Amino acid sequence: MTKDLMEEIIRVAVEAGDRIMKIYEGDIQVEHKDDSSPLTEADRRSHEHIVSELKKITPEIPILSEESADISWQERKGWGEYWLVDPLDGTKEFIKKNGEFTVNIALIKENSPATGVVVIPAQNLIYGADIKNGSFRRDYDGREIELTANNNLNANKLKIVGSRSHQSGLMQTFVSNFENYEIVAAGSSLKFCLLAEGKADVYPRFGPTSEWDTAAGQCVLECAGGVVFDNAGNKLQYNTKDSVLNPYFIAMREYNETVLNCFKEIVGGS
């Protein structure tokens, strides 16, 4: 992706975040989807802005967004390239007003994230990545650093990222395999970004996620040198089946066979 196009995608995500923050600062009205997951006006406004802008910037590239996910598999399976959007990832974190919600835009090419932008509106932070140019973190004032997932780690203590909103018995089974560990709590796709910055080691996911939840964050992590594997030990991929649900997966700031095998034993290829 060209630098100019990357900057356009960042602009769109930041503008969507601005729309979210206008609602975040007031009284949040919550509805629920058919699957009981929460939905707010912020989700809608962010979605509408992102889709409208992407259609202007790249009219030839199709778009799959969480808020317009009813595109049939018959149509999707022919896509070699498409935008995958989560207009507000971490709606529960948004409702709790803890600041750990994100705007996610990813470009998927041949079933893998090729470009990713993650914006954290409440923290004025931008994470960007492209398979040709690596990963970076930038604040709204323009200060930018390159991300390398293998830096700044304490080798004597495994830092395991867990969700603030989702916990499971499988997570407890996973952590019981390690004598010295620390749980690093985080919400939404921020979990991938922590690994990309070298602030955590492992993010095992034993709960449900959809493809739009993970694509941009996965891109940020992988372009910083990290890895993401599914329950069978293969790279987590996109648009390979009718369902948009991900299998269980594990993200690591660097490949570790022992940790991966522990994860695979627990999920049993499920």
State the fold for domain 3-146.
Answer: Fructose-1,6-Bisphosphatase; Chain A, domain 1 (3.30.540)
The average confidence (pLDDT) of the chain is 91
Top CATH class, 158-267: alpha beta
**Encoded tokens for 188:** 């939404």
State the binding site for Mg(2+).
66, 86, 88-89, 213
State the binding site.
66, 86, 88-91, 213
Given a cut of 70, whether residue 142 has pLDDT beyond it is yes
**pLDDT above 90: percentage of residues in the chain:** 76
Contact status, residue 196 vs residue 69, Cβ threshold 8 Å: no
State the binding site for substrate.
66, 88-91, 213
Mean pLDDT of 206-221: 96
Given a cut of 90, whether residue 41 has pLDDT beyond it is no
Return the pLDDT at 187. 84
Mean pLDDT of 142-152: 88
Query: What is the radius of gyration, based on Cα positions, of the chain?
Result: 17
Mean pLDDT of 90-109: 91
**pLDDT above 70: percentage of residues in the chain:** 93
Domain positions in the chain: 3-146, 158-267
Q: Left, alpha or beta for 142 (phi > 0: left; psi -120 to 50: alpha)? A: left
Domain 3-146 and domain 158-267, same fold? Reply is no
Contacts of 257 (CB under 8 A, 6+ apart): none
Contact status, residue 84 vs residue 189, Cβ threshold 8 Å: no
